[in-house]
Amino acid sequence: MFDPRTDRSGGQAAGSNASSAPRSACGAEIDQATGQTLARYAADYPKGPHDQPQSMCPAFGALRIGLRMRRTASVLSGSACCVYGLSFTSHFYGARRPVGYVPFSSETLVTGKLFEDIREAVDKLADPEQYDAVVVINLCVPSASGVPLRLLPREINGVRIIGLDIPGFGVPTHAEAKDILAGAMLRFARGEAEQGPVAAPRGGPSQQPTVTLLGEMFPADPITIGALLAPMGLAAGPVVPTREWRELYAALDCAVAAAIHPFYTASVREFEVAGRPVVGSAPVGVDGTATWLAEVGERAGVAADKIAAAQNAALPTIREALAKAPIKGRITLSGYEGSELLVARLLIESGAEVPYVGTACPRTPWAEADLAWLESKGVEVNFRASLEQDLAAVEAVKPDLAVGTTPVVQAAKEKSLPALYFTNLISARPLMGAAGAGSLAQVVNAAIASKSRFDTLTEFFAGVGEGANTGVWTATGQAPWADAQGRAA
């Protein structure tokens, strides 16, 4: 990953002194602007034991959000190798739109021509017949060099232009990059709504007060949440990040914003400025659903008897679903999606023992309720967990199943421990209400039951790729056929 602290093209990391902010051919004012952006990121997304992402390029989070939105163009400005990786990953995950790219050379970077090239690209793209918004993302090198996206026009032909710096040295995870773009869009939309009438959502405004849902989730989850809210006279509102610009206005026009994923700091700020109360956690399991319905109902001004009615309608079926799909076993859990604490709650209510939860996301006020519940069950919760800490937990706990990121899964399998990749196999399942209560058991129990297969594989491949069989010898004399002086025996 590019690191401006060591790269000779200039720049510095978010954590370092603002007085030596990124250098740019465009002048001191831009250095200061970039430094301010990095300072805001440092405040919004506090760092942990590691000061750089340990997962994919953070910009992927924002790019993915832009690519999933209707009538939105996404343009990257950065090194070709970074853009190759980001566009590859985007299309691997099913992007339906092209990724725009404004290339640069040393010359266009230092002379300011890169900014003119971006401006020209944006001008060409800003066709109101095709787009509501154009998102331009500065990757590491243009961010460190102070390429001033804030000087792009706010709108061209009625198409909104949103320019963001999303460098790997200032944004700890790709999850938080989603928040950077979602927050910027909410801020823009809030400004438009304050100026006058704005477009209604497709299908018209909701007849009931709504609860906006913060965080990408399984497509059925918002429907489940809507059914849980119905007895209180509330409806599920849009999910943020939204799939369309006009949904942003409806999202802001909610009775309550629910930070289902707790890392949406910039987005929450926009709801708070709009005067909307924000609640944490989610309707997962019996305890989580009871508490969440009560808090949402109270913040929306719902009468106590209606809150009780909603709880009475939901909790018996959730209890029943959990009882029908028990999970037995000890599980460690780590991920970077932001739903780790919710999944852990569900696993524990299903009967599993979960001694450790690591999340790459930071501790925020909207994670506190889940943290308190998990700690009351004896769980060690590690925010901003590093890969090393997650691996150490697997080593110490020796779980029946390790749910984690790719390198955690790989390390666990090397030790004959069943493991599941959190992103593709766990977070892509329903979690809310009764539908979520039974959804994890099948995949988790099947994985735990596969332990003997891992033992067979380990036995069969014993010694392969280990020690002298790796084919890598760091000093003479290590090769099995060499003598003490490194000569062939």
Interacting residues toward ligand SF4 by CB under 6 A: 1-2, 57, 59, 78-79, 82, 85, 139-140, 167-168
Count CB-CB contacts under 10 A for residue 299: 17
Q: How many CA atoms lie within 13 A of 228 on its CB side?
A: 34
Query: DSSP label at 284?
Result: -
Nearer CB in complex with ligand SF4: 78/433: 78
How far is the C-alpha of 331 from the C-alpha of 333, rounded, in Å? Answer: 6
In the bound complex, what is the minimum distance in angstroms from residue 139's beta carbon to ligand SF4? Answer: 4
Minimum distance of ligand SF4 from residue 287's CB (angstroms): 39
Q: Shortest Cβ distance from residue 53 to ligand SF4 (Å)?
A: 6
Q: Pick the closer one to ligand SF4 by CB: 180 or 431.
A: 180
Measure the CA–CA gap between 162 and 184, rounded to whole angstroms.
8
Question: By C-beta, is 148 or 283 nearer to ligand SF4?
Answer: 148
The Cα–Cα gap between 483 and 344 comes to 53
Q: CA–CA separation, 147 vs 435, rounded Å?
A: 47
Q: Please classify residue 288 by burial: count the beta carbons closer than 10 Å to its beta carbon, then call 0-12 exposed, 13-18 middle and 19+ buried.
A: buried
Q: What is the DSSP string of 65-80?
A: HHHHSTTEEEEEES-H
Residue whose beta carbon is closest to ligand SF4: 168
DSSP for 96-162 reads -SPEEEE---HHHHHHSHHHHHHHHHHHHH--TTT-SEEEEEE-HHHHHTT--GGGS-SEETTEEEE
* CB-CB neighbours of 259 under 10 Å: 26
Q: How far is CA 9 from the centre of its chain?
A: 30
Residue type, position 238, single letter: P
Identity of the residue, 168 or 433, whose beta carbon is nearer to ligand SF4 in the bound complex:
168
Nearer to ligand SF4, 167 or 285 (CB): 167
CA distance 483 to 488: 6
In the complex with ligand SF4, the residue whose CB is nearer, 78 or 338, is 78
Residue whose CB is less far from ligand SF4, 142 or 280: 142
DSSP of 447-461: HHTTHHHHHHHHHHT
- Beta carbons of 214 and 99 less than 8 angstroms apart: no
Q: How far is the CB of 27 from ligand SF4 (least distance, A)?
A: 24
| Shortest spacing between CB 34 and ligand SF4, in angstroms | 15
Residue 169 Cβ vs ligand SF4, minimum distance, rounded to whole Å: 7
From the CB of 209, what's the least distance to ligand SF4, in Å? 41
CB of 60 to ligand SF4, least distance (A): 8
Provide the edge-to-edge strand list for the sheet that holds 235-240: 235-240, 210-214, 256-258, 278-279
Q: Which is nearer to ligand SF4, 2 or 356 (CB)?
A: 2
Q: Per DSSP, what are the bridge partners of residue 239?
A: 213
Nearest to ligand SF4 of 85, 407 (CB atom): 85
Residues 140 and 171 sit within 8 Å (Cβ to Cβ): no
In this complex, which beta carbon is closest to ligand SF4, that of residue 56 or of residue 290?
A: 56
Report residue 44: phi and psi, to 5°: -75, -35
Kindly provide the residue ranges of all beta strands, DSSP E only, lying in 274-424, ordered along the sequence. Answer: 278-279, 330-335, 353-359, 380-383, 401-404, 419-421
Task: Give whichever of 77 and 212 is closer to ligand SF4, judged by the CB atom.
Answer: 77
Which residue is it, tokens 């006279």? Answer: 233
Q: Return the SS3 of 202.
A: coil
Least Å distance, CB 3 to ligand SF4, is 8
User: Shortest distance, CB of residue 117 to ligand SF4, whole angstroms?
Assistant: 18
Q: Which is nearer to ligand SF4, 59 or 374 (CB)?
A: 59
Q: How far is the CB of 250 from ligand SF4 (least distance, A)?
A: 33
CB 78 to ligand SF4: min, Å: 5
CA quadruple 147, 152, 154, 157: dihedral sign: negative
Which phi and psi (to 5°) does residue 57 adopt? -50, 125
In whole angstroms, how close is the CB of 240 to ligand SF4 at the nearest point?
A: 24
Residue 54 or residue 210: which is nearer to ligand SF4 going by CB?
Answer: 54
